[in-house]
Structure 1
């Protein structure tokens, strides 16, 4: 009799462990953003906002330290998958606290709002990558990134300083989607996608995403409606793959 009749159980245990760690890290990041919104964005300028403006530099430094430590632990614990996840979480927190704190100092409420959207999306995608089929994970990642980008286009389309960078980012994102399709077609995504994966969901997701982003470059109103249309696609895809997993 086999020692482990269910060959996938250790993998699922590791996936659950990793998803839990990332979930807790995302909750910590979201609490940080809520505190910043209360005291830095909407707080009293002299007694709350200004002290937090200086504290953001401290958090950026702590984030940089966590990033370096996370990279070191990931390399040190390369052979132990569970311990290595801790290192990757430190890398993620380091990027968030280091880069996010500096971004908030530069763009204030716009950056806080953007990060408040990105953090829950990343948290959900972590669960999807842990438990769902790889083709679903790649497709949902592409669609989620597109939704965030369309949201940015809608809010910052006519912004004096951020409008042009957002549009340039949209062009780069479309090229990135084309690169993902090419890599998937030529089986060059490595461990991210098994050789026998169904590529149709990836082609559909990247194609719809590219079309939505291109249309969103014309006006903020088009970006708004494209965002809703893609949101419906994401919901349908999530329901389909959830039923399939069950």
Structure 2
């Protein structure tokens, strides 16, 4: 039953991610690479409308999740609606403010979240957390490589990178103290989480000094991600 619920949740998230990616493709074609200036301007005016609709769907999803809290599957539908609403609201405003860089970032984040939803559905929790940490770290490195030298965003990105390292340390502390609640079983192997967090922190520290280091560190974490995913897949089989 629990496995069926996990499959149901992963399927819901998969279709939500497909909808989000389709929205990004439309924005790329008509907003970022529109044939005419008027076409781009029309979509520029539409984005706040999409953001408002997303906010409404977000509120609806949260309300339904609360109303359906006794039914696990229906609650999942509510949270999925809330997630879609949050994406359309936040993503539309982000793309309107930063155009192509924001769209590129979201185009990477959405497929990553799609893959992680499957991993969280079927893999052990310690593996899922470790792979999530590595995925988030690669996204941080990608952003860092592009924006560290930016005149206005460079310093905020570096500050956020340091904050992210502190969050990794906090995650390890919570895991060691058994304070992650239902997210992590009491007898879970914490080594994957420690390794992923430590390697990620080291990669981001190196990236703070050089954009080229961020590039190579990102690929190194990608190799670790792939190796860990293969190892746990074989173990699951």
Band of TM-score, shorter chain: over 0.9
Q: Given the alignment, which residue of 106, 109, 113 partners 1:122?
A: 113
Q: Which moved more, 1:30-39 or 1:154-163?
A: 154-163
Structure 1 position 82, deviation (Å): 0.3
Whole-Å Cα distance in 2 between the matches of residues 45 and 165 of structure 1?
Answer: 34
Q: Report the CA distance between 1:47 and its aligned residue.
A: 2.8
Matching residue of 2:53: 62
Equivalent position to 1:137, from 128, 132, 137: 128
Following the alignment from structure 2 to structure 1, what is the Cα–Cα distance between the partners of residues 130 and 176?
Answer: 14
**Greater alpha carbon shift after TM alignment, 101-110 vs 45-54:** 45-54
Q: Report whether the alignment pairs 1:18 with 2:9.
A: yes
1-side partners of 2:18 and 2:53: how far apart?
18
Aligned to 1:244: 235
1:157 aligns with 2:162: no
Gapped runs of 5+ residues in structure 2?
A: none
Deviations 1:50-101 (A, max 9, x none): 0000110110001100111111111111111100111111111111100110
Equivalent in the alignment of 2:194: 203
Please give the alpha-carbon distance, in whole angstroms, between the structure 2 residues aligned to 1:220 and 1:95: 31
Whether 2:41 is the aligned partner of 1:71: answer no
TM-score w.r.t. the length of structure 2 is 0.98
Q: Over aligned residues, Cα RMSD in angstroms?
A: 0.8
In the alignment, what sits opposite 1:48?
Answer: 39
Deviates more, 1:84-93 or 1:109-118: 84-93
Cα deviation 1:220-244 (Å, max 9, x = unaligned): 1000000011100000000000011
Worse-superposed segment, 61-70 or 156-165: 156-165
SS state at 1:244 partner: helix
1:45 CA drift (Å): 4.2
What SS does the corresponding residue of 1:19 show, helix, strand or coil? helix
CA distance in 2 between counterparts of 1:79 and 1:210 reads: 40
Q: Structure 1 regions of 5+ residues with no counterpart?
A: 1-9
Asked if 1:82 is matched to 2:81, the reply is no
Name the stretch that deviates more: 164-173 or 205-214. Answer: 164-173
1:184-199 → structure 2 map (5 Å cutoff): 184-199=175-190
Residues 193-240 of structure 1, C-alpha deviations (whole Å, 9 max, x = no match):
000000011100000011111111111100000001110000000000
Matched, 1:105 2:96: yes
For residue 166 of structure 1, report the CA deviation from its aligned partner.
1.4
